[in-house]
Amino acid sequence: MKIYDEERFLEDVSALLIAGLPAKIIEINDDKDDGIVLENIPADRFIENLDDSILNFEKFVFQGISGISAIGMRGATALDVELFFDIIFVDDQGANSKTVRKKIQRYTRAMREIINKDFRKLECVSDLTVGSMSPTNLSNPEGNVFYKVAGIQVKGTIG
């Protein structure tokens, strides 16, 4: 019997996002219909290691495990696991751009709605909590490309 651990939890939530993102992005683009267009993030752009090669991407999702806590439950131990999914994309509009702000909100909304709709497909003991993370900025080492970072945190109990 396979143990449902934090690694599988991350893989399963990532798979939900990868599978659901194309349709959800189309849905949000159609809903807003204001010329601000989200683009899909392909499966090979969901990464767990940040290195210089990712600087060639215009948009990607940096994902991983940000916290694990053990919980004793009558002879068994469950784990509270917190995952993060950061959407990182090139900011070619400038720091105060309404377009960039709206893209951040829409990508975050897309991921949140996918998890809220499909979380029952996961082997979690508990319901999931999905929260947004504060947007931030990054730049490449040369300082000539700027990125916006925003995303979600997913918390659940497994065990």
Mean pLDDT lowest for which of 18-22, 41-45, 104-108, 127-131? Answer: 127-131
pLDDT confidence of residue 118: 87
CA distance 46 to 116: 19
Q: Are 47 and 14 in contact (CB under 8 A)?
A: no
Residue ranges per domain, the chain? 6-158
State pLDDT tens for residues 103-145: 999 999 999 999 999 888 887 778 789 998 888 887 777 777 7
Rounded to 10 deg, the angle between the 6-32 and 98-118 helix axes is: 130
**Six token digits for residue 87:** 């959407």
Q: Are 113 and 93 in contact (CB under 8 A)?
A: no
* Residue 149, phi then psi, degrees to nearest 5: -125, 130
pLDDT confidence of residue 77: 79
CA distance 97 to 99: 5
> What topology does CATH give the domain 6-158?
Alpha-Beta Plaits (3.30.70)
